[in-house]
Amino acid sequence: MLIVNQVTKTYPGEKKDITVLQMERFEMRRNEKVALIGPSGCGKSTFLNILAGLNRPTSGTVNLLGTDILGLSASAMDRFRARNIGYIHQNFNLIPGFTALENVLLAMQFGNTHPKKDRKEKAKSLLAMVGLEHRMGHKPEQLSNGEQQRVAIARALSNKPALVLADEPTASLDPENTELVMSLLLQACDENQAALLLVSHDMSIAEKMERTVALSRAAIRVGQEDKTYVPA
C-alpha cells in the first residue's frame, strides 16, 4: 500500500545543511497498524507531513496506493489527500466556529466520496461510533480535550481513507481519556479497514500497534518484525 524509498529532508544551515529526516526504505501493508517513535527532533512529524503531501522531501520517492504522490500538483495532492488520507493532529485542528457535526461534514465535502444526500447520516454515525451522539451540535470550545480528539478521529475517517496518520493523538489527554481515545481509534480503523501510522513518545501506546519503527536524529532504523523496537 505504501512504499517509501530514499526519502530525506534537509534544511540549509549557516555552515552546512541540516538533515532532519533520512529514510532508506519504509513499507506498510493495507490495514496494518504501525507506531513511529523516537526523540524530539528526529523527524517523526516531518515524515507524516511528507506522507500527507503537506511537506516535500529534499529527495526520494513516496508511492501510496500505486500513486507517486510527489509527482502530483498541489491541487491534485489536495484531492488525493482528502479521499485517501485521514490526519489526526496532536492539537485537534478543529474549526472553532463549526459544530462537531459540521467539522465532519466539511471534511466530507472536501473528499466528495459520499453522495450529498448521505453525508449527514454518515457523519452522525461516525460521531456516534466515537461516543458523541449527544455532542454533535457543540462547538470545539464546548468540548473537553478528549471529546475534541474523538471528533478529530471521526473527521479523519469520514471519507473512508486507506491510511490514517496520527501525530501524538493522546499527548494532550489524561490517562483515562488516553485509553478511551486509543481504544476508539483502533476500533474505528478496524471497522473502516484503514491502515494506521501513529507517532508517539509513549511506549505503552506504541505497544498497542502491530509493529514499531524507531527513529534517531541521524537516521531511521526499522524493526521489521511485529512489535520490534530498534533502539534509536
pLDDT at 36 over 60: yes
pLDDT at 168 over 60: yes
pLDDT at 229 over 60: no
pLDDT at 29 over 90: yes
- Integer CA distances (angstroms), 180 to 148, 149, 153, 169, 176, in order: 13, 10, 12, 12, 6
**Is the domain covering 2-226 a CATH 3.40.50.2300 domain?**
no
Number of helices and strands in the chain (H, E): 7, 10
Q: What pLDDT was estimated at residue 141?
A: 96
The tens digit of pLDDT for each residue in 198-226 reads: 999 888 999 999 999 988 765 444 433 33
* Alpha-carbon span 153 to 146, nearest angstrom: 11
Compute the mean pLDDT over every residue in the chain, rounded to the nearest whole number.
89
The tens digit of pLDDT for each residue in 55-94 reads: 999 999 999 999 999 999 999 999 999 999 999 998 899 9
Region at 31 (left for phi over 0; alpha for psi -120 to 50; beta for the rest): left
Average pLDDT over residues 39-63: 93
Q: What pLDDT was estimated at residue 220?
A: 41
The tens digit of pLDDT for each residue in 104-160 reads: 999 999 998 899 999 999 999 999 999 999 999 999 999 999 999 999 999 999 999
Q: What is the CA radius of gyration of the chain?
A: 17
Supply the DSSP symbol for 86: E
Q: Which of 171, 185, 201, 2 has its CA nearest to residue 84?
A: 2
Question: Within 13 Å, how many C-alpha atoms sit on residue 152's CB side?
Answer: 27
Average pLDDT over residues 26-39: 93
Instruction: Report yes or no: 53 and 59 within 8 Å, Cβ to Cβ.
Output: no
Q: What pLDDT was estimated at residue 78?
A: 94
pLDDT at 230 over 70: no
Q: What pLDDT was estimated at residue 108?
A: 94
Average pLDDT over residues 98-106: 97
Q: What pLDDT was estimated at residue 224?
A: 38
pLDDT at 177 over 60: yes
Instruction: Report yes or no: 158 and 123 within 8 Å, Cβ to Cβ.
Output: yes
Cell of residue 36, nine digits: 513511529
Q: Are strands 33-37 and 85-88 parallel, antiparallel or unpaired?
A: unpaired
Q: Taking the domains of the chain in order of start, what are their residue ranges?
A: 2-226
pLDDT at 190 over 70: yes
Residues in the chain, overall count: 232
Q: What pLDDT was estimated at residue 223?
A: 39
Cell of residue 83, nine digits: 479521499
Instruction: Report yes or no: 174 and 139 within 8 Å, Cβ to Cβ.
Output: no
